[in-house]
């Protein structure tokens, strides 16, 4: 049974220097044609798989880069197809520079329950360094406006390991974030990916990043500071006040199935990992011809499901529950990976009790090494 739906809006007013998500400049794009195709894909996609949706997440790109009329059209499409009384969390990603009173009102009118703001840092010079068009004051103003508009579940994104960023700057960003008191914080280390501006700069030797030791210290700082302020570290990169953990993202980390709608989106439907066409015009044409944007799929084998259950589940600080694992796969974790688990325990990377296996504090810092142990 599919419990979540992700909807991708690939349009942006600006392209951030680190971003490798599927995105295009919104100027001169066929936005209305895209929304019409999205309408059709969602309608037909729901008819092809059994679902009982609990979460909806609209991401990008930048969903709020749409103008007021286009944004209204998007919300009507989502409301018509995906929103039911059973929805427990309805998230929209937004950037501070393209939110306004009209969009806040539309989101509240259509039942959006959670706002995810792309902040990244609270230093104006560093914002320019990474290609973000907003300022720190913009963040503060929009956050306060969101609260006044009735949003009581707001997440912010932060980053560390950025070019020329210091531990002092990161601590300052956290301190300023704490003044706003967001309900949830996602904080990621910079990963320089191909086909990004940062990647091109790195190849030319023009990207100056903190070293691995500094980045590790930054992560330690993040964990320590957020713990002081009462945030629960519930996933490697995510922290929340009690009760504000992201329900939608927990579906991913719990290896549940979910729809992916829109250009370049990924889904996990009927035991297959599916990928939609990325280029906007290709996606529109494909949906018009077939009713689906899908251009590739892979049926997940039992072995792959087990591996995914472990390396996704171990991202959660609560770990992988042995009972749930047995109910899904009718075998014990230790029967399959007893040697690996014991070795990781001896290395101080994994903790085990009668109910679960989970990362230790040391294991959180070396998560990739732990995950690799469960991959063939």
Q: What is the average pLDDT across 297-308?
A: 97
Q: Are strands 320-321 and 350-352 parallel, antiparallel or unpaired?
A: unpaired
- All CATH 1.10.10 domain ranges in the chain, comma separated: 315-372
Look up tokens 């992560």; give the residue.
219
Asked whether the beta carbons of 336 and 305 are under 8 A apart, the reply is no
Q: Phi and psi dihedrals of 373, rounded to 5?
A: -65, -20
What DSSP character marks residue 263? T
Query: If pLDDT is split at 50, 70 and 90, which confidence band does 225 have?
Result: very high
pLDDT at 310 over 90: yes
CB atoms within 10 A of CB 291: 16
**pLDDT number for residue 109:** 98
**Whole-angstrom Cα Rg for the chain:** 21
Distance CA 44, CA 287 (A): 10
Q: Work out the mean pLDDT of the chain and round it to a whole number.
A: 96
Tally of helices (H runs) and strands (E runs) in the chain: 15, 17
Helix/strand/coil percent split, the chain, to 5: 45, 20, 35
Query: If pLDDT is split at 50, 70 and 90, which confidence band does 365 have?
Result: very high
Asked whether the beta carbons of 79 and 47 are under 8 A apart, the reply is no
Percent of the chain at pLDDT > 70 equals: 100
Which CATH architecture describes the domain 315-372? Orthogonal Bundle (1.10)
Percent of the chain at pLDDT > 90 equals: 95
Give Cα 11 to chain centroid, integer Å.
Answer: 17
Distance CA 364, CA 355 (A): 19
Distance of CA 213 to CAs 206, 228, 298, Å?
A: 20, 23, 38
Q: Tell which phi-psi region holds residue 264, choosing left (phi > 0), alpha (psi between -120 and 50) or beta.
A: left
Q: What is the average pLDDT across 128-154?
A: 96
**pLDDT number for residue 223:** 98
Q: Are strands 114-120 and 89-94 parallel, antiparallel or unpaired?
A: parallel
**pLDDT number for residue 77:** 98
**pLDDT number for residue 15:** 87
**pLDDT number for residue 327:** 97
What is the fold of 2-253? pyruvate-formate lyase- activating enzyme (3.80.30)
Q: What is the average pLDDT across 46-67?
A: 96
Distance of CA 307 to CAs 59, 62, 289, 343, 370, Å?
A: 27, 32, 36, 17, 12
- All CATH 3.80.30.20 domain ranges in the chain, comma separated: 2-253
pLDDT at 20 over 90: no
Q: What is the average pLDDT across 342-368?
A: 97
Q: How many residues does the chain have?
A: 376
Q: What is the average pLDDT across 280-303?
A: 97
Look up tokens 């894909």; give the residue.
41
**pLDDT number for residue 21:** 86
């Amino acid at each position: 049974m599919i419990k979540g739906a992700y909807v991708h809006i690939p349009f942006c007013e600006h392209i951030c220097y680190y971003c490798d998500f599927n995105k295009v400049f919104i100027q001169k794009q066929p936005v209305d044609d895209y929304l019409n195709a999205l309408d059709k894909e969602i309608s037909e996609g729901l008819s092809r798989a059994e679902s009982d949706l609990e979460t909806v997440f609209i991401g990008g790109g930048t969903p709020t880069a749409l103008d007021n009329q286009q944004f209204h059209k998007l919300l009507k499409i989502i409301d018509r197809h995906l929103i039911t009384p059973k929805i427990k969390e309805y998230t929209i990603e937004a950037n501070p520079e393209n939110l306004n009173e009209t969009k806040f009102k539309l989101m509240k009118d259509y039942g959006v329950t959670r706002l995810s703001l792309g902040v990244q840092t609270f230093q104006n010079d560093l914002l320019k360094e990474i290609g973000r068009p907003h300022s720190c004051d913009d963040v503060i103003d929009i956050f306060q406006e969101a609260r006044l508009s009735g949003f009581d579940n707001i997440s912010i994104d932060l980053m560390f390991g950025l070019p020329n960023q210091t531990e002092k700057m990161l601590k300052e960003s956290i301190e300023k974030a704490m003044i706003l008191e967001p309900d949830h914080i996602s904080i990621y280390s910079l990963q320089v990916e191909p086909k990004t501006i940062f990647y091109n700069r790195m190849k030319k030797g023009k990207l100056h990043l903190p070293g691995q030791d500094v980045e590790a210290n930054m992560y330690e700082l993040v964990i320590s500071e957020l713990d002081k302020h009462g945030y629960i570290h519930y996933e490697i990169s995510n922290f929340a006040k009690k009760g504000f953990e992201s329900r939608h993202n927990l579906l991913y980390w719990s290896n549940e199935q979910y729809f992916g709608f829109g250009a370049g989106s990924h889904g996990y439907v009927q035991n297959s990992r599916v990928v939609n066409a990325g280029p906007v015009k290709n996606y529109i044409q494909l949906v018009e011809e077939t009713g689906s944007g899908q251009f590739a799929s892979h049926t997940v084998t039992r072995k792959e499901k087990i591996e995914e259950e472990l390396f996704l589940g171990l991202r959660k600080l609560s770990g992988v529950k042995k009972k749930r694992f047995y109910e899904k796969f009718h075998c014990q974790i230790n029967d399959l990976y007893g040697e690996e688990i014991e070795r990781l325990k001896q290395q101080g990377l994994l903790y085990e009790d009668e109910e679960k296996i989970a990362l230790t504090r040391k294991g959180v810092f070396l998560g990739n090494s732990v995950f690799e142990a469960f991959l063939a």
